[in-house]
Amino acid sequence: MTTIRAGLKHGAIQPLEELPRVWHEGQSLSIEDEGTGVDAEEVMAWAREIEEAANRIPESEHQRFLDALANHKREAKEFMRRMMDST
């Protein structure tokens, strides 16, 4: 069994590699879909699960996180200023 990669373009299957010389016009071929690896239904279920989990976090925790993020940004800016001044 010989395997080559091909893609779908404008409704036709087009090889992405050179075809084996032993293949001939009209020959029957078997094509397998590699799939995208992503199932839209699974992604939507995951997104709902994440949103539900986020909704269970108390507002005070959201604010604490935002405050910590702002503090981190402020410290990073101060650090970069010190680094720029020392050069």
Report pLDDT digits (tens) over 3-55. 899 988 999 999 999 999 999 999 999 888 887 778 889 899 999 999 999 99
Q: What sign has the CA pseudo-torsion 39, 44, 50, 52?
A: negative
Cβ proximity of 9 and 3 under 8 Å: no
Reported as a pLDDT band with limits 50, 70 and 90, residue 84 is: very high
- Per-residue confidence (pLDDT) for residue 33, from 0 to 100: 83
Conformational region of residue 34, where left means phi above 0, alpha means psi within -120 to 50, and beta covers everything else: alpha
Cβ proximity of 4 and 17 under 8 Å: yes
Two tokens, residue 44:
């939507």
Q: What is the pTM of this model?
A: 0.41
